[in-house]
Amino acid sequence: MTPNYNLYLVTEESVPMPELLRIVEEAVKGGVTIVQLREKNSSGKDFYEKARKLKELLASYDVPLIINDRVDVALAVDADGIHIGQTDLPLLAVRKIVPASMIIGISVSTVDEAKDAEKYGADYIGVGAAFPTQSKNDAKILPKGILELITNAVTIPAVAIGGIKIENLAEIRNKNIAGVAVVSGIMKAEDPNRAATAFRKALLN
């Protein structure tokens, strides 16, 4: 399937399985186009079980599943993609391990990192943090103007991430981005379906 990065949902840490599946399904029904499972503190077994169930759920909606960091889990559940950070296994090494069809994304925060990502075979980049975020306490906020410099430096899709809210979408929407990655704005919403719908409408306007 051809990935649509428009509304990219990144899951919250350690959400119990039934609740995770409920939130993600409601979000997908509301317009989420791609989902990344992020489980920094889970055991390999728990991560695998969540990934397996999510893959099954998302396949029924034709929505790609991206696994954060764990190449082994991505391979084990036949995920659609893997997202890595700058300190994870190098991009070239990941490309050697995974099938040619698997999407590879990487987090970047500088123009040089973005150019290297494209050079070494990334399919997309996650650029951030665009705004202050509570989902990743160590995330550094991009200096003013850097987001647009990064997205204009590459031809692969760029997804803005970090503190994305309906209220600040207008500030980044015209920065040559392919989409936005949302965490708490959907995962912690009282109604994930309604929250996702609101983001989609705001992105399309």
pTM: 0.96
Specify the number of domains making up the chain. 1
Whether residue 52 lies in the annotated active site: no
> Is 36 annotated in some ligand binding site?
yes
In a domain, 146, yes or no: yes
Residue 198 sits in a domain whose CATH number is 3.20.20.70
Q: What confidence category does residue 136 fall into, taking pLDDT thresholds of 50, 70 and 90?
A: low
Report d(CA 73, CA 105) in Å as an integer.
15
Query: For the chain, what is the mean pLDDT?
Result: 95
Whether residue 38 lies in the annotated active site: yes
Whether residue 107 lies in the annotated active site: yes
In a domain, 1, yes or no: no
Closest CA to 51 of 83, 92, 85, 3: 83
Range of the domain at 153: 7-204
Joined tokens for residue 202: 């705001």
Q: What confidence category does residue 133 fall into, taking pLDDT thresholds of 50, 70 and 90?
A: confident
Q: Distance from first CA to last CA of the chain, Å, rounded? A: 26
Joined tokens for residue 53: 């169930």
